[in-house]
Amino acid sequence: MRKGAIAQIGTPREIYFKPKNRFVAEFIGAANIIEAPVENGHLVLLGGRQPIGGDASLAAAVAMIRPETIRVVEAGGAPLSGIIDSVSFIGDRQRMIVSGASDKLLTVDAPNTVRAQAGERIGLLIAPDAVRLLPPEN
């Protein structure tokens, strides 16, 4: 519900991975919301170019990426990179806050087997279908 109206109806999986708008994306779980220009099917970001699976004909996009869909890899071979600002142990995973990849801080949830520390440059690998394009806010 949003302002007395139903924001989205669907299964929990649909609502989580395919939110209809920014409100639903942010209301249900952690979400990275990125606003960026689009060029040749890629979001053009500070830390590189992220392929998108949606409408590549857009001039700019608002995209949602869930923290657990971002893989941490070596910085050199990744299409996107950033600097770890902080790492928090959350039990079954660790949560990293990454700067320099986009104009906003990104939240990344990675397995505890990934060795990471603040100040380290990392690569970020995101499948194009994990980037959900959202409609612009009215």
Is pTM beyond 0.85? Reply is yes
Domain ranges of the chain: 12-134
Cβ atoms of 97 and 71 closer than 8 Å: no
- Nearest CA to 126 among 94, 83, 79? 79
Q: Which two tokens stand for residue 59?
A: 């001039």
Quick: pLDDT tens for 80-127.
Answer: 999 999 999 998 999 999 999 999 999 999 999 999 999 999 999 999
Quick: pLDDT tens for 35-55.
Answer: 999 999 999 999 999 999 766
Rounded-to-integer distance, Cα 73 and Cα 68, Å: 14
Q: Which two tokens stand for residue 45?
A: 């970001």
The superfamily in CATH containing domain 12-134 is Nucleic acid-binding proteins (2.40.50.140)
